[in-house]
Amino acid sequence: MSIFEYNGSALVAMVGKNCFAIASDRRLGVQLQTIATDFQRISKIHDRLFLGLSGLATDAQTLYQRLLFRHKLYQLREERDMKPETFANLVSALLYEKRFGPYFCQPVIAGLGDEDKPFICTMDSIGAKELAKDFVVAGTASESLYGACESMFKEDMEPEELFETVSQALLSSVDRDCLSGWGGHVYVVTPTEVKERILKGRMD
Amino acid sequence: MSRRYDSRTTIFSPEGRLYQVEYAMEAIGNAGTAIGILSKDGAVLVGEKKVTSKLLQTSTSTEKMYKIDDHVACAVAGIMSDANILINTARVQAQRYTYAYQEPMPVEQLVQSLCDTKQGYTQFGGLRPFGVSFLFAGWDKNYGFQLYMSDPSGNYSGWKAAAIGANNQAAQSMLKQDYKDDITREEAVQLALKVLSKTMDSTSLTSEKLELAEVFLTPSGNVNYQVCSPDSLSKLLLKFGVTQAATEAS
């Protein structure tokens, strides 16, 4: 079994009209055994920037702590928050530093950049960035997620419709993946507020 | 005075003094005053800006006050370039602690860690000491609000009210007279501004010559560090009646 499939994960980020949504599943497993059903895979870097980390949970936690360290120092020195594009470059650089002994994670970065323009991107475990205008996916359920997002995505969705679309795409994809699921965690971010919602899906 | 024992930081004089450290403290005695006052519900830091010129590019950055972490801030007096290095060191130390222990670094530990760095420059390496004194104001869940003063020798101690920089002895004695143990944050601001106005050399006190920062707890229980905006500062100066020249206010 691949190390990336040890804990199981599903992550998706989608762009809407002046907003974005980032969603994850809630299962933490050790191969076939489910250990936790409330695992947080998405973390806030600042009010307009969220990071989701799929893959090996321990690497995801450590990587998040390291990134928070770097972002805190950036905030203190520059007296402002990091732009999503800049943050993506930082993540990419940190991952590549470990090119020959990598973090077994696949990050999904979602944020609001200048003029509230939504920004999403994902990268592989050694920092190859993939920018997208519509959606990005990661995790053990990524193949199903690609299909679901491709068919359900529409451009310029309002926050409420975006929430529905992301939730349906996530839940239908994790149902086809035994290693991810046990509900969903969705953040919908607009320039004025962050709405966090928990989804109840098939609890298996 | 045994001048022959001056030039190396790492040796004592026959009288048991470290001259380089003392000379560093001299340098700080020429810098703008900074005052810190601890109250029940917060800590207040006030600083005198030495460099005021019309030609100076206005920026939102502060000259005397710096945030070290979300729960600790400091006021500086002395050589600014030395201060920048130490502030950066303190910030990295605070983040390293948070990375290792996943919680904010206790204030005293942060001060001690920075002072250990400063002490190193008085004992080995052959480099001169940092010409900076700090006033650290912060909050942690073990000891609540705290105020610490540190100097170039690497010594530090906790204070209820302290002053560094020019005229610090005059400021300190004024604080000793007027400080009360149960002082509130608003009274502390008033006291700090009053003491600073009396010790400052300038003929009139405007918000351009001062910086004011406070560390306090928000209603939701989070620590907040806030620098007073120039407008609010002007209003405060008017409210407390300290905008006149130092000789008139009494």
Structure confidence by residue, pLDDT tens digits, B84-121: 999 999 999 999 999 999 999 999 999 999 999 999 99
User: Mutating which of A40, A68, A76, A81 best tests the B interface, going by the most B Cβ atoms within 10 A?
Assistant: A76
Whether B94 contacts B74, CB under 8 Å: no
Q: What is the mean pLDDT of residues B208-214?
A: 92
The whole-chain average pLDDT of chain B stands at 90
Domain of residue A163, CATH code: 3.60.20.10
B99 touches chain A (CB under 8 A): yes
**Residues 55 to 74 of B: which have CB under 8 A from any A CB?**
60-61, 67-69
Range of the domain at B203: 19-240
Three-state DSSP class for B204?
coil
Record the pTM. 0.91
Angstroms from A107 CA to nearest CA on chain B: 20
Residue B14 falls inside a structural domain: no
Question: Residue B243 has what pLDDT?
Answer: 66
- Number of domains present in the structure of chain A: 1
Q: Read off the pLDDT of each residue in B119-124 and give the average, rounded to a whole number.
A: 90
Q: Is residue B217 part of a domain?
A: yes
Query: Position of tokens 């994809």?
Result: A173
Q: B242 falls in which pLDDT band (50, 70, 90)?
A: confident
**Per the domain annotation, does B110 fall within a domain?**
yes
Residue B5 in any domain: the answer is no
Q: Judge whether B247 lies within some domain.
A: no
Q: Do B68 and A76 touch (CB under 8 A)?
A: yes
Q: Tokens for A42?
A: 């998405």
Given a contact cutoff of 8 angstroms between Cβ atoms, the answer to whether B93 and B110 are in contact is yes
pLDDT bin (cut points 50, 70, 90) of residue B1 is low
Residues in chain A closer than 8 A to B60 (CB atoms): 79
Nearest CA in chain A to B68: A76
Output B3 or B250, whichever has higher pLDDT.
B3
CB proximity B95 to A under 8 Å? yes
Question: Does the CB of A73 have a partner CB in chain B at under 8 Å?
Answer: yes
- Report d(CA B170, CA B185) in Å as an integer: 22
Amino acid at B53: S
Asked if residues A125 and A107 have their Cβ atoms less than 8 Å apart, the reply is: no
**For residues B236-241, average pLDDT:** 86
> Could you tell me if residue A130 is inside a domain?
yes
Can you give the pLDDT at residue B2?
60
Query: pLDDT at position B207, please?
Result: 85
Nearest CA in chain A to B90: A73
Query: Which ipTM value was assigned to this complex?
Result: 0.89
Q: Tell me what pLDDT residue B250 has.
A: 43
CB-nearest to A69 from B61, B88, B99 is B99
Q: From B100, which residue of chain A is nearest by alpha-carbon distance?
A: A65
Q: Decide if A101 is inside a domain.
A: yes
In the prediction, which pLDDT does B129 show? 92
Residue A20 has a pLDDT of: 97
Residue position matching structure tokens 């100097």: B151
Nearest CA in chain B to A65: B99
pLDDT of residue B53: 79
Beta-carbon separation of B99 and A79 below 8 A? no
Contact at CB, B92 and A73, closer than 8 angstroms: yes
C-alpha to C-alpha distance for B76 and B117, rounded to whole angstroms: 16
Tell me whether residues A76 and B92 touch, CB distance under 8 A. Answer: no
Q: Is A79 on the interface with B (CB under 8 A)?
A: yes
- Is residue B65 in some structural domain? yes
> Residue A141's closest CA among A21, A23, A17?
A23
B2 part of a folded domain: no
Q: Is residue B189 part of a domain?
A: yes
Most confident of B48-57, B179-188, B233-242: B179-188
Token code pair at residue B102: 């996943």
What is residue A96's predicted lDDT score, i.e. its pLDDT? Answer: 97
How many contacts (CB atoms, under 8 Å) link A and B? 23
Backbone angles phi, psi at B87, to 5 degrees: -65, -40
Nearest Cα to Cα of residue B223 among B104, B97, B112, B63: B104
Domains contained in chain B, number: 1
DSSP-based three-state secondary structure for B102: coil
| Whether pLDDT at B244 is above 70 | no
Half-sphere exposure of B84 (CA within 13 A, CB side): 6
Report pLDDT for B248: 43
Q: Is A85 helix (H, G, I), strand (E, B) or coil?
A: helix
Residues whose CB is less than 8 angstroms from the CB of residue B246 and which lie 6 or more positions away in sequence, other chains included = B197, B198, B199, B200, B202, B203, B205
CA distance B49 to B32: 6
B84 touches chain A (CB under 8 A): no
Question: A72–B98: do the CB atoms touch at under 8 Å?
Answer: yes
The predicted-structure confidence for B138-152, as pLDDT tens digits, reads as follows 999 999 999 999 999
Q: What is the CATH number of the domain that holds B174?
A: 3.60.20.10
Residue pair B81/B110 in contact by the 8 Å Cβ criterion: no
Q: What angle do CA B63, B65, B70 make, to 5 degrees?
A: 140
- State both tokens at B70: 């979300």
The domain in which residue A134 lies consists of 3-199
CB A58 within 8 A of CB A92: no
Question: Chain A contacts of B69, Cβ < 8 Å?
Answer: 72, 76
Q: How far is B231 from chain A (nearest CA, A)?
A: 20
B226 touches chain A (CB under 8 A): no
User: According to the model, what pLDDT value does residue B168 have?
Assistant: 94
Residue to mutate among B59, B63, B65, B91, with most A CBs inside 10 A, is: B91
Count of other CB atoms within 10 angstroms of residue A125: 20
Contacts of residue A104, defined as CB under 8 A and 6 or more positions apart, other chains included, come to A3, A4, A55, A56, A59, A125
| Sheet order of strands, B72-78 included | B65-69, B72-78, B132-140, B144-150, B156-158
Section B184-202 average pLDDT: 90
B13 pLDDT tier (thresholds 50, 70, 90): confident
Is residue A83 domain-resident? yes
Residue A204 lies in a domain: no
Instruction: Determine, for residues A77 and B92 on separate chains, whether the beta-carbon distance falls below 8 Å.
Output: no
* Residue A69 with chain B: CB contacts under 8 Å: 95-96, 98-99
* Residue among A46, A62, A72, A74 with most chain B CBs within 10 A, to mutate: A72
In angstroms, the separation between the Cα of residue B40 and the nearest Cα of chain A is 27
Which tops the pLDDT comparison, A82 or B51? A82
10 Å Cβ neighbour count for B214? 24
- Residue B247 predicted with pLDDT over 70: no
List of chain A residues whose C-beta atoms are within 8 Å of the C-beta of residue B88:
77
Mean pLDDT for each 10-residue chunk of chain A (204 residues)? Answer: 94 97 96 95 96 96 96 95 97 97 97 96 96 96 96 96 97 96 96 96 92
Return the DSSP state at B241.
Answer: T
